[in-house]
Amino acid sequence: MSRALRLSRQLRQIEAAITDLSAPLRDTLASLTVKELANAARAEFPHLYGSTPDKVYQTWGEGAEVGLERARSDNAQVRVRGIALWIAVVYHETENADHAALTSVHKQVLRLLRVIKESAGAKPEVYAQWAADGRGEAA
């Protein structure tokens, strides 16, 4: 339960960070998010993506915290990469959650993915990435 509350608070911060991005940075965010989701999906433990290897036996890793810290950066590129990392990690962490609060967080992340996809505009290369990865279809 406390993890769901923490992720909900972090989600609000991530949403605010996305709102503050310029249109070109949102396009970059859309591309990076697709790549991070794909990289995490290929990892042995997708929910631990971005964590140190010693976290293998934990329920969640430190990827969300690392992503959030980067999302607070003054450097725009670091901020965009942090947002993409946070989304990828939390997506996989909450994907098959049994707890209702974590399922709610997952739905909010899906909604956020849809917003990112739509804010990327009608850029064919971004839509092609979303379709090829298969993650954007759910969003």
Q: How far is CA 132 from CA 19, 21, 30, in A?
A: 26, 25, 13
Measure the CA–CA gap between 52 and 98, rounded to whole angstroms. 25
Which amino acid makes up residue 69? E
Range name among 80-89, 109-118, 123-132 with the lowest pLDDT average: 123-132
In this structure, the number of other CB atoms found within 10 A of the CB of residue 57 comes to 7
pLDDT score at 138? 43
Orientation of helix 2-19 relative to helix 63-71, angle to 10°: 30
pLDDT at 126 over 60: no
What DSSP letter does each residue of 7-31 carry, written as one string? HHHHHHHHHHHHHTS-HHHHHHHHH
SS3 content of the chain, % helix, strand, coil (to 5): 75, 0, 25
Q: What is the mean predicted confidence (pLDDT) over 104-110?
A: 95
pLDDT at 41 over 90: no
Which amino acid makes up residue 134? G
